[in-house]
Amino acid sequence: MKTQNNKAWFLVLPVLILVSISAIIPLMTVVNYSVQDTFGNNEFFWVGTEWFQEVLNSERFLNALKRTLLFSALILAIEIPLGIFIALAMPKRGIGVSFCLVLMALPLLIPWNVVGTIWQVFGRVDIGLLGHGLASLGFDYNYTQNVFDAWVTLIIMDVWHWTSLVVLLCYSGLVAIPEVYYQAARIDGASRWSVFRFIQLPKIKRVLLIAVLLRFMDSFMIYTEPFVVTGGGPGNSTTFLSIDLVQMAVGQFDLGPAAAMSLVYFLIILLVCWIFYTIMTSFDAQAAASQKKG
Amino acid sequence: MLELRSVSRRVEGEIFVDDVTLSLNRGSINILLGPTLAGKTSLMRLMAGLDKPDKGEILFDGESIIGVPVQKRNVAMVYQQFINYPNMTVFENIASPLRVAKLGSDEINKRVAQASDLLQLSPFLNRNPSELSGGQQQRVALARAIVKRAKLVLLDEPLANLDYKLREELRSELPSLFAELGAVLVYATTEPGEALVLGGCTTCLHQGSVQQFGPTLDVFKNPVLLQSAKIFSDPPLNVANFESREGICKITGEERELSFLRAKLPDGSYSLGVRPHHLSLTPTDSDDLIFQGGVSVTELSGSESFIHFDFQGQPWVALIHGIRNFKEAERVEFYVRSKNAFVFNSDGLAVAI
Amino acid sequence: MASIELKNIAHQYPSEDKSGPYALSSLNELWQDGGAYALLGPSGCGKTTLLNIISGLLQPSEGRVLFDGVDVTDLSPEKRNIAQVFQFPVVYDTLTVAENLAFPLKNRGMAKDKISERVAEILSMLGLSDRANEKAHSLTADDKQKISLGRGLVRTDVKAILFDEPLTVIDPHLKWQLRTELKKIHQQFRHTMIYVTHDQTEALTFADKVIVMYGGSVLQIGTPEELFETPAHTFVGQFIGSPGMNILKANVDGALAIVDRIQVALPGNYRKIDDEVELGIRPEYISLSQTEGIQAETVSIDDVGKHIIVRCRLEHQIVSVIVPEGTSIPDKPRLVFAQDKINIYQNAVLVRPTG
């Protein structure tokens, strides 16, 4: 596509300036830090790729990365099917619709740190409803000491907080499917599973992909909730990349390695986004091709 | 007058509009006729200024309008889908282009009253479009095009989503509605029957290029190309291939000579085109052409019979007045006046006899 | 195959207003096994509602539906064993063309080799054989609708095949081809077929019997010829034919009608009718003459290619006349009404002559 009108560039100029102030300049600062060392006094020494090598070879980083990936994988494995399932179960018309939608939207409206605090209190063995309840039922539940319990708590919390997003996205895709598809499927004698497999899933695959992308990014970058609930513990068992990064940069003031680490972190996210982008544009190309013919 | 000079448009290597030269006049309706994907909508988008041609000139009253943005062109467009503002009354819907143009409320009231009278919408002015029938909704869209007093009115299959009878009704009203406005009126349709009822001028389109352009009846009765005869035929044109050898013409597979063509064609392959309503079960003239074939199916419409038969491997159809039912595989002879047969050469060009 | 019987079918769409209009009002019909029926009427006449009641997609608020005498009113569409084709193409995007056609068979557990045999038959019938393995979403709207049709035709054991304006999105030329194809299939296999449309040509050419509907009730059931020659209602007369039947205000006494102070001879004797009386005659059954007939004035002439439509004014009322192509039309022609083609209507309903 050739540029048809140079005015367009003029119109996007404000955005370009804004983005460069808010994103590009800070990013370049990080790049700057990642290749230098400092001992205070604003004195910097060129160290090349040393920090990158250190970060990539450090067990601490790799463990945090593994934990984060595992966390994201678990989140996706639970929230996506659960979200689809709930979306399918929601009413398509009637007064139940708005009730369900409001109910679904509620957790999304609560700020991250509040969510963390809620669950932190909720799960406490001494005063929390969940923690105390489980304890009184004889379960040995304690998220501050048991690694498994800590993970379960974080995952349940995230599922509680974010499954609604998947539900809402899938629901929007589902209600857009014309009634006639369901009628045709009934006439064709399709089972409930076939209807899902051959009508609903293909029709919502686009929004589903967006849901997967959003949930991956969010869970991969999760910080506030585990920070509030577990603080990364017990031990380092819930120290995800983001928590590790902050500990390194703010706690230990290791600016160089922290900068290198954030860049690696950034690149991983960029890579994932690119993969999603490629898949989605191929969907679009298919859709465009069929539309042009049709 | 709207003129297109050698206008072409490609999108990603695919030809949408191919070297189109046309001049469309005020006062009469200009029909773009062709099947889906023939380039009707692409052409209209170029006329409206929604797309830019890769090549060629588009002139309105002698002035180039390429590069003039749509908003400044004074164009009105009506689509196949009924597009109205759902949360405005019918009155506000019709008045919307006038509000944009910041006309005084007296003028707006006057024009809306005029247009709604013309389209029989006056009783519904305070309703919402959703409370109207499909035909009325499309009338609202048409009224909006009328009040705007646009210089160029583009109607893209505006009746396609309407009931058959309603279509007939609006079809007979349309040409006169717009004739008085002095706008250049362009109307796209896939249906030959619609073009014939609307009259005016017709452009036959095929794969983005113009096959034939002229007064509608003239294009219908005197096709210059096999392709335009095919496009402008409903039921489909009947086609038979024939050979000319030393002045004697015979249809491939037939022994009978096409005597009316004797010594008129140089040697070569040709094809014969016959419109279904020109076939008759009884001879009318001594040099009638005779086509014999086995009936595949007969459709009766109450007053007419469509007899589908196989002629030399080609599907043919005859439109016969009255109810004539034939059994499957029954052999039937049809007669055609020689003056009603079109002859095309191997390049698909009409040959005058 | 099965006969279809409707007993006191009525339907009202749920709404706040319980006294609201019925989409269908008390229908009693018996449709023969193996017949080709068309439901014809303008949009909103209830034809699609009726079709969905027969297929089971909709539960009627009153009445019963019987297939071969068996009450199926409470059965779901899949249990009723019918096929239905919809107005807009419905394809399973992720499946290939062949898989789409196989879908209804597979769901009913047909043997694999039988399926592929049947699918191949349908593919060649629709001219889609060379695209069998393409994904359905990449096809044009025309081809997608062919697949929809194919899925309707692929099952051989269905009780009935229902069509809901299946050719709406199809280009005119392909319409002819698919319609004749359907007609051939019907003649060959004698499925009970019900075809819903607003297009008179489609209805008349497809069906043995056409059911004309208006405002939720049936106005007339008849062969195409009956609907054309003796419409039971002025609406039917005007709806069928293009242009439709001329309906002229008249006074009738005995074998004479007075239209615009002009006497018209009728095909039989009528008793004296005082209500609103109209005379109906098809434009096809009026001819122009130099010497005899009713004096008229030409208002407009439309040459539509295969024939010419002339609109003439009698004293007040306008009549349409169809004359063959190439006829020369005088400014003041005389009109001859074919006597035995005249119908008389009382309050819009057909009245038969008494003798």
Asked whether the beta carbons of A206 and A286 are under 8 A apart, the reply is: no
Closest listed residue to residue C211, CA positions, set C222, C200, C201: C222
Mean pLDDT of chain B: 89
Q: Do A188 and C104 touch (CB under 8 A)?
A: yes
Please report the pLDDT score of residue B178 as a whole number.
76
- Check: CB of residue C197 under 8 Å from CB of residue C162: no
How many Å apart are CA A252 and CA A247, to the nearest integer?
6
Listed range (A208-212, A252-256, B75-79) with the worst mean pLDDT: A252-256
What does the pLDDT read at residue C221? 93
Task: Show residues of chain B in contact with C303, CB under 8 Å.
Answer: 196, 217
- Beta-carbon-side half-sphere exposure of residue C188 (alpha carbons within 13 Å): 11
Question: Chain C partners of B315 at a C-beta cutoff of 8 Å?
Answer: 177
Report if residue B275 sits inside a domain. Answer: yes
Q: Do C305 and B220 touch (CB under 8 A)?
A: yes
Q: In Å, how far is C16's CA from the nearest CA of chain A? A: 13
- C-alpha distance from A2 to closest chain B C-alpha (Å): 11
The span from the CA of B45 to the CA of B192, in Å, is 22
Residues A89-132 have pLDDT tens digits of 988 877 888 888 888 888 888 887 888 888 888 887 777 888 88
- What average pLDDT does range B54-83 have in this prediction? 86
**Pair (B148, B95) in one structural domain:** yes
Q: Which residues contact A21 (CB under 8 A, 6 or more apart)?
A: none
Interaxial angle between packed helices C141-153 and C112-126, expressed in degrees from 0 to 180 and rounded to the nearest 10: 130
pLDDT for res C18: 53
Closest CA to C217 of C1, C8, C76, C5: C8
Q: How far apart are CA B122 and CA B132, in angstroms?
A: 12
Is the Cβ pair A186, C94 closer than 8 Å?
no
Q: Is the pLDDT of residue A4 over 60?
A: no
Strands B29-33 and B201-206: what pairing? parallel
**Same domain membership, residue B317 and residue B172:** no
Scanning every residue of chain C, which has its alpha carbon at the shortest distance from the alpha carbon of A190? Answer: C107
Cα nearest neighbour of A5 on chain B? B67
Instruction: Name the residue facing A188 among C52, C140, C151 (closest C-beta).
Output: C151
Tell me the shortest Cα–Cα distance from C208 to chain A, in angstroms. Answer: 25
Give residue-wise pLDDT tens across range C190-200: 889 999 999 88
Closest Cβ–Cβ partner in C76, C82, C107 for A194: C107
Give chain B's contact residues with A (Cβ, < 8 Å). Answer: 14, 37, 52
The β-bridge relationship of strands B289-300 and B331-336 is: antiparallel
B159/C94 Cα distance (integer angstroms)? 33
CATH number for the domain harbouring residue B105 = 3.40.50.300
Q: Which residues of chain C lie closer than 8 angstroms to A184, CB-CB?
A: 84, 86, 90, 148, 151
> Do B187 and B312 belong to one domain?
no
**Which chain C residues are within 8 Å of B164, Cβ to Cβ?**
198-200
Predicted local confidence at residue A3, as pLDDT: 46
The distance from CA B76 to its chain's CA centroid, rounded to whole angstroms, is 20
Whether residues C240 and B302 touch (CB distance < 8 A) is answered with: yes
**pLDDT tens-place string over residues A140-173:** 777 778 888 888 888 988 998 899 999 999 999 9
Start-to-end CA distance of chain A, whole Å, equals 23
Tally of domains within chain B: 2
Cβ contact, residue pair B35, C173, below 8 Å: yes
DSSP secondary structure letter of residue B35: S
Both B180 and B275 in one domain: the answer is no
Q: Quick check: A187 and C77 CB within 8 A?
A: yes
Instruction: Return the sign of the alpha-carbon dihedral for residues B63, B65, B68, B70.
Output: positive
Tell which of B224, B248, B269 closes a domain.
Answer: B224
How far apart are the C-alpha atoms of C144 and A238, rounded to whole Å?
53
Instruction: Report the residue of C15, C49, C93 to disrupt the A interface, i.e. the one with the largest count of A CBs within 10 Å.
Output: C93
From chain C, pick out residues whose CB is under 8 angstroms from the CB of B199.
302
Answer yes or no: do B158 and B57 share one domain. yes
| Final residue before a domain boundary, out of B177, B193, B224 | B224
C141 contacts B300? CB cut-off 8 A = no
Res. B221: pLDDT tops 90: yes
Q: Are residues B314 and B172 in the same domain?
A: no
Task: Check C171 against B299: CB less than 8 A apart.
Answer: no
Q: Which two tokens stand for residue A270?
A: 């960029």
CB of A229 closer than 8 Å to CB of A154: yes
pLDDT for C236 beyond 90: yes
Q: pLDDT tens digits, residue range C14-39?
A: 764 555 567 888 888 889 999 999 99
Bridge partners, residue B248, by sequence: B245
A23 inside 8 A of chain C by CB: no
Structure tokens, B80: 């196949």
| Tokens of residue C224, six digits | 């195409």
CA atoms of B11 and A283, how far apart (whole Å): 19
Q: Give the separation between CA C67 and CA C194, rounded to whole angstroms.
A: 14
Axis-axis angle for helices A255-293, A50-57 (nearest 10): 80
- State how far residue A159 is from chain B, nearest Cα, in angstroms: 39
Residues in C closer than 8 angstroms to B197, CB to CB, are 302, 304
Q: Which residue of C has its CA nearest to A293?
A: C140
Q: What is the pLDDT at residue A286? A: 67
Q: Does residue B16 belong to any structural domain of this protein? A: yes
DSSP string, B165-202: HHHHHHHHHHHHHHHTTT-EEEEEES-HHHHHHH-SEE
* Arithmetic mean of pLDDT, B243-267: 89
> Is B231 within a domain?
no
User: Is B350 contained in some domain?
Assistant: no
Report the percentage of chain A scoring pLDDT > 90: 17
A285 touches chain C (CB under 8 A): no
The residues facing B242 across adjacent strands are B251, B270
Q: Is residue B232 part of a domain?
A: no
Q: Taking CB atoms and an 8 Å cutoff, what residues of chain B touch A4?
A: 52
pLDDT score recorded for residue B351 = 92
Q: Is the pLDDT reported for residue A293 higher than 70? A: no
- Lowest-confidence segment of A13-17, C202-206, C345-349 by average pLDDT: A13-17
Per the CB < 8 A criterion, the answer to whether B145 and B154 are in contact is: no
Please determine, for residue B162, whether its predicted confidence score (pLDDT) is greater than 90. no
Cβ atoms of residues A241 and A62 within 8 Å: no
Which of A1, A292, A293 is the mutation pick for testing B, counting most B CBs within 10 A?
Answer: A292
Q: Would you state the structure tokens that stand for residue A109, as one six-digit string?
A: 């409206």
For residue B109, what are the contacts with CB-CB under 8 A and spacing of at least 6?
A: none
The Cα A147–Cα A277 span in angstroms is 36
Averaged pLDDT for residues B235-248:
92
Q: How much is the pLDDT for A226?
A: 82
Same domain membership, residue B283 and residue B180: no
- Which of B167, B197, B224 marks a domain boundary? B224
Q: Which two tokens stand for residue A291?
A: 């539309």
Asked if residue B197 is part of any domain, the answer here is: yes
Q: Between B and C, how many CB-CB pairs are < 8 A?
A: 93
User: B63 — phi, psi (to 5°)?
Assistant: -110, 140
Cβ–Cβ < 8 Å for C225, C284:
no
Q: Which chains touch A (3 or more CB pairs under 8 A)?
A: B, C
CB distance C90–A181 less than 8 Å?
yes
**Are residues C2 and C33 in contact, defined by beta-carbon separation less than 8 angstroms?**
yes
Of A190, A202, A294, the CB nearest to C141: A294
- Cβ separation B196–C304 shorter than 8 A: yes
Q: Indicate if B147 and B271 belong to the same structural domain.
A: no
Distance from CA of B191 to the nearest CA of A (A): 18
Cβ contacts of A292 on chain B, cutoff 8 Å = 14
- Name the average pLDDT for chain A: 83
Q: How far is A193 from chain B (nearest CA, A)?
A: 35
DSSP string, C64-97: EEEETTEE-TTS-HHHHT-EEE-SS----TTSBH
Confidence of residue A292 (pLDDT cuts 50, 70, 90): very low
Same domain (yes/no): B99, B142? yes
Query: How far does the CA of residue C87 sit from the closest CA of chain A (Å)?
Result: 9
Residue C20's pLDDT is 58
Whole-number pLDDT of residue A123: 80
Asked if the structure places residue B194 within a domain, the reply is: yes
Q: What residue ranges define each of the domains in chain A, with the CATH number in brackets?
A: 58-253 (1.10.3720.10)
Of C184, C238, C242, the CB nearest to B296: C184
Question: Looking at the domain assignment, is residue B339 inside a domain?
Answer: yes
Mean pLDDT of chain C: 89
In SS3 terms, chain A reads as: CCCCCCHHHHHHHHHHHHHHHHHHHHHHHHHHHHCEEECCCCCEEECCCHHHHHHHHCHHHHHHHHHHHHHHHHHHHHHHHHHHHHHHHCCCCCCHHHHHHHHHHHHHCCCHHHHHHHHHHHCCCCCCHHHHHHHHCCCCCCCCCCHHHHHHHHHHHHHHHHHHHHHHHHHHHHHCCCHHHHHHHHHCCCCHHHHHHHHHHHHHHHHHHHHHHHHHHHHHCCCHHHHHHCCCCCCCCCCCHHHHHHHHHHHCCCHHHHHHHHHHHHHHHHHHHHHHHHHHHHHHHHHHHHHHHC
How many Å apart are CA C279 and CA C273, to the nearest integer?
12
User: pLDDT value at position A40?
Assistant: 66
One domain, residues B207 and B62:
yes
A291 in contact with C at a CB cutoff of 8 Å? no
B86-141 pLDDT, tens per residue?
888 999 999 988 888 888 889 999 989 988 888 888 888 888 888 887 778 888 98
Output the six-digit token pair for C29. Answer: 């019909």
| % of chain C exceeding 70 in pLDDT | 97
A283: closest chain C residue by CA: C137
Comparing C13 with C175, the larger pLDDT belongs to: C175
Measured distance CA(B123)–CA(B121) in Å, rounded: 6
For residue C114, give the 3-state DSSP assignment: helix
> Strand B2-11 to strand A44-46: parallel, antiparallel, or no bridges (unpaired)?
unpaired
End-to-end CA distance of chain B: 35
Residues 6 or more apart in contact with residue B164 via CB below 8 angstroms = C198, C199, C200
From the CA of C85, how many Å to the nearest CA of chain A? 8
Give the pLDDT band of residue A250 (cuts 50, 70, 90): confident
For B78, list phi and psi in degrees, rounded to 5. -120, 130
C212, pLDDT greater than 70: yes
Q: Tell which of C142, C169, C171 to mutate to test the B interface (max B CBs under 10 Å).
A: C171
Pairing of β C307-313 and β C318-324:
antiparallel
Query: In angstroms, what separates the C-alpha of B11 from chain A's closest C-alpha?
Result: 9
Name the residue range of residue B286's domain: 238-345
Q: Residues B29-58, buried b or exposed e (16+ Cβ, 10 A)?
A: bbbbbbbbbbbbbbbbbbbbbbbebeebeb
What letter would DSSP give residue C130?
A: G
Distance from CA of A183 to the nearest CA of C (A): 7
Q: B121 with B146, same domain?
A: yes
pLDDT given for residue B120 in this prediction: 82
Cβ neighbors of A183 (< 8 A, separation 6 or more) are C52, C57, C77, C84, C86
Beta bridge partners of B184: B152
Report the CATH number at residue B299.
Answer: 2.40.50.140
> Confidence band (pLDDT; 50, 70, 90) for C247?
very high
Chain C contact set for B316 (CB, 8 A): none
B334 and B290 Cβ atoms separated by less than 8 Å: yes
Pairs across A and C, CB distance < 8 A = 64
User: Do both B210 and B263 map to the same domain?
Assistant: no
pLDDT over 50 at C6, yes or no: yes
**What subunits touch chain B, counting only 3 or more CB pairs under 8 A?**
A, C
* Residue of chain A whose Cα is closest to the Cα of C92: A198
Using a CB–CB cutoff of 8 Å, tell me whether A293 touches chain C: yes
Lowest mean pLDDT among B15-29, B123-137, B230-244: B123-137
Token pair recorded at residue B83: 């597009």
